[in-house]
Each structure stands twice: as C-alpha cells, then as structure tokens.
Structure 1
Amino acid sequence: MLDQLFGSKTRVLLLRLFLNNPDKYYFIRELARNLNLHLNSVRRELENLEKIGILNSFDHLETQAPITEEEIKDNKKYYRLNSQFVFIEELRSLFIKSHVLMEQVLIDKIDKIGEVDFLLLSGVFVGRSDALVDLLLVGNVNKQKLIKLINGWEKELGRSLNYSIMPKPEFLYRRSIADRFIFDLLENKKFILINRLKK
C-alpha cells in the first residue's frame, strides 16, 4: 500500500530504514547493497528526499566517520534523517500504521509455520526504542521457517529484529509470577496479533 501511496518501492524502503534508524548515517552504496536496490534509483530518491527536507546530507568530515575505499568512490557523502522535518512524526505514524494494515497477512504466514498461541509485536513495530524485543511468539513453531520469515521482515524494515520464542507453559508461568520481561511487554505499548491463551 505504501508503495502505491509514495509511488516508489525504493522511496518506501529508504524512508522506513531512516525512520527506524534516525541517528545513523548511510552512504549511497551501503544503502543499495543492504536494501538490494539499484544504485541509480537509490541516488535519485536520496536527492529527492533531501530536497523535500526529510534527509540531510553530510561529508565524512562532518560525520567524523571512518573512510573506506567504497565511500571514497561515493564522494564520502552520507545521509541521515532530518529529525526537525515538519512532518516527521506524521511520517512515523503512517509507517507504524502500515504495519497494522499488514496484520492479517502476518498472521496467515505465522500460522503456517506451526502452532502459535500468542504473538506480540513491540519495539520497532510500535515505535518503542526501549523495548526488550520487537516480537514475542508463544507456541511451537518450525524455527527455520520463522527465521526465514523474520529475515524477510528485516530486509523490508532495513534493520535487524530482536525476537523471543517461548513455549506456552513457560510463558504462562512467567506471566503468573509477573516476570519482568513479560510484564514489560504486556504493560507497555504493543500490538497483540494472536491470543489463543485461556484467560
């Protein structure tokens, strides 16, 4: 949906990456490689986003970042999110809400990899940077298939995800004793996509 709204898959991937990593500097070749995109399309979109004011560009002297041969070829130009952009919070909100619209697709995929009793999204999915994990899954699933799914999400988000898989008995016990890890996830901002546990 966001691809259609913004008119470019490259633009969406770049925006998502920068919004999820607001303090990080990226150079063009690094972005093209990490997101598996064509260099020219990345360069074009970065220039557009900078003109709009969503991104700022810097040379290596301003970032005080180490120089590599690859960066020299890229003229040492780095990009970072402009946290002062007037619509930055609205953009963040839009991308977070786009995750919600994908919930059913996510549930369908998760259900195909095993028996899932409980699925909670936190962290990057709700804009919570201090969360212990981004995803908590309770149940019995094929771990290799889950890792494959998560790798796909990581590529789409442009960042790694922290996740925890827990057997149902362990989760129920830890919830009953108000375990700090479980309590933190349940009492703070989250999306609960699947809850098949008995109350």
Structure 2
Amino acid sequence: MIEQLFGNNSRRKIAEFFLTRIHDSFSFDELKNYLGGALSPRILKEEIGALVRLGLIEAYWQNIAGENESDKKAGGKKKNKSKKQNNKPEKEMRLQVNLSFPLLPELHSLVLKSIIFWEQKLVKKIKSLGSIGYLAFTGFFTDTNHTPTDILIVGRVNKKRLAQVMRRFQIELHLPVRYTLLSKNEYEYRMDITDRFLYDIIESKKIVVVDEIKKS
C-alpha cells in the first residue's frame, strides 16, 4: 500500500501536501495554486484520482452561492426567472484527507519526522545568513489553520540567499512554505501598532527557535 501511495515523485508530493494539512480541504484550483509550479494540471488531476481510489484522499461536493454577473451590472434588478436561477447553488468539489484511512497515523508520523529533520537543517541555514533576533515556525509546521505564514524571521539577513535557501527547502520537502522576513525596527513598529498580521502569528500555536529580541 505504501509503495502504491508513493509510487512516483508526483504522487508523493501530493500525498505529503495533504498529510501535512490533514484537517484542511482544497478545491482543484487551490491545489493548482499550491502545487502548480511543480506539477502540470493533467498530472495533478491523474495523481489525485489515484490517491482517491487508494482511499487516502476523499472527494465531496460543496455548495457555493453563485451570483450572475449580468445581474450585478443591472444594479440588482432581476426578473423572477433570473432570481430563481441565481439562487440555485453551484457546486464545487473539495478534496481532503480521509481521516479513517487505516495507514493514516503511520503516514502522518512519517511525514512529520521528515519535516522535523529538514526543519533542523533549515534553522542552521537561516542562522548562517545573518543576525537573527526571532525565528518561529507556525502554520503547517504546527498544524495550525489560517495562519498567515509558516515561518517568521526577524533580523538582518541576505534576502537573496534566504530566498534561495527557502526555495531549496521547498524542493527537498516537496511542500510550499510561506515565510515572512521583518527587520527588528519593522517588527517593533508592528507590535506597537498592534498589527493584525503580526499578532495573528504571535498568538498562534508556534515553535520558537530563536528569541533574542526581548533580551536586547
């Protein structure tokens, strides 16, 4: 079964993506945004279909309230027939991990161990790029939904080299990773004005690796 799940590199990328987000669901368009840089839409569709047939991923239809563009332009004036049509919900296929899949605990643990290994390597790389005052992992590293970033870095680092390190990390881990880099002054300013973006990160579940700001 494991050989079938990770039978090729494309399928492994998709499986690992879902296994790090076991409580989230995605439309096909959302998956294209996340994984489209590494996989073509055709390959993505084929491999998702294979994972659905194997039982790791389940698909379901979700209603979406639709609105007719012509009615918008008409200033909201609608004929009875159009109104009836507009109230008819559109459906969108959503994809998510099948939480009752027999091998899910083992597969999830395997992927998390891989992430921890690469996370340790990434910390060393980031520290070598400059002066780090604060470094925290959140988002998919802590299985936290709706966090605006996965890694928060505060300090003075070479942006070009950091981008290269993060790109390499994503390739090796087969996962899209969002990171935010702030200078110490910008971090303190955002804290002073109670910046929503920053506070959403600070108040979320996270793994703090470096915290030298309070000491300075």
TM-score bracket relative to the smaller structure = 0.5 to 0.7
The alpha carbon displacement at 1:139 in A equals 0.6
Larger radius of gyration: 2
**1:116–1:55: structure 2 CA closer, same or farther, 3 Å change rule?**
same
CA distance in 2, matches of 1:168, 1:87: 47
Aligned residues: 176
Give the match's secondary structure for 2:180. Answer: strand
SS of the residue 2:200 aligns to: helix
Distance 2:37 2:95 in 1: 16
Structure 1, residues 48-97: CA drift from partner, whole Å, max 9, x if none?
63443102479xxx79xxxxxxxxxxxxxx99434343358734465345
1:148 deviates by 2.0
Alpha-carbon shift at residue 146 of structure 1 (Å): 1.5
Could you tell me which residue of structure 2 aligns to residue 18 of structure 1?
18
Superposed CA RMSD: 4.2
Output the TM-score relative to the length of structure 1: 0.62
Cα drift, residue 123 of structure 1: 1.3
The 2-side partners of 1:107 and 1:160 are apart by 14
TM-score by length of 2: 0.58
Counterparts of 1:62-101 in structure 2, within 5 Å, are 80-86=95-101, 90=105, 91-92=107-108, 94-101=110-117
Distance 1:138 1:80, change over 3 A: same
Give the unaligned 5+ runs of structure 2. 63-92
Q: Could you report, residue by residue, the CA deviation over 1:5-29 in whole angstroms, capped at 9, with x for unpaired residues? A: x6865553221223449533559xx
Structure 1 residue ranges without an equivalent (≥5) = 64-77
State how 1:19-168 maps to structure 2 within 5 Å: 19=19, 20=21, 22-26=24-28, 34-35=37-38, 49-56=51-58, 80-86=95-101, 90=105, 91-92=107-108, 94-155=110-171, 156-159=173-176, 161=178, 163-168=179-184
Task: Using the aligned pairs only, state the percent identity.
Answer: 24
